[in-house]
Structure 1
């Protein structure tokens, strides 16, 4: 069972000038980069970073993503990105909430969906591999 406290992570990102577009707001595509940084923090928490993924024999490509922009963000704004494991059977779904670190106001939400792919034969696994479940404490 997913534990909302344990199976989540929060990071802070300070946006830079180079993160913004011609309108002076953070370019929409950068949110996927922010999501990935949060996902990395969550997976490292469970000792399943990129190296450990490869060592376990799986890669986890993103097959679906969604981003909903609620409020524009700007350069030099500190954002808190929280990621939470939402699903883990047959695929991994991670939900994201981006908030202004000072006001706590929600600026962006989204999700990513990933599937396990065998690193050697490139075949997709239709069930979540036991190594993921073990690392995340989802099986006993």
Structure 2
């Protein structure tokens, strides 16, 4: 299960060399992650409404080739793990050539908002929405 977004790299994301500043890659990951979560109606507002926060506890980015101002990129977020944590893998491609420019991942865990305690399993509300969506997609 994955989601793709197309981003036209804005000027305010690049440094003096016209290359995207390294911290903005995580922002691009976040944009794709939100689109992925929207697919099964469990984005950040729904997480909060269900009583859970999902902080990022780990992130990794492998910069293969710099992204430049005005470049059209496609960011793909793929859900890889979900039972005990959310592990989402990302790839960034040049939208025209299809060449992969970057890859990475993030890991998130559920935290009960009221108690601030980390959950060792994904909450049932999340699993219900995910499985309902994936069942719908396979029909």
- CA-to-aligned-CA distance 1:41-98 (integer Å, 9 cap, x gap): 0001111111111111101000000000011110010110000001112111000000
Unaligned runs of 5+ in 2: none
Distance in 2 (CA, whole Å) between partners of 1:79 and 1:131 is 33
Q: Tell me which residue corresponds to 2:124.
A: 130
1:59 to 48, 53, 57: 53
Distance in 2 (CA, whole Å) between partners of 1:101 and 1:63 is 29
1:31 to 25, 29, 45: 25
Relative to total residues, which structure has the larger helix share, 1 or 2?
Answer: 2
Secondary structure of 1:75 counterpart: coil
Q: Tell me which residue corresponds to 2:44.
A: 50
Report how many residues are paired.
Answer: 134
Aligned positions of 1:1-140 closer than 5 A = 7-137=1-131
Q: CA deviation at 1:22?
A: 2.0
Q: Which segment is superposed worse, 109-118 or 129-138?
A: 129-138
- CA-to-aligned-CA distance 1:77-135 (integer Å, 9 cap, x gap): 01100000011121110000000000000000000000000011110001111111111
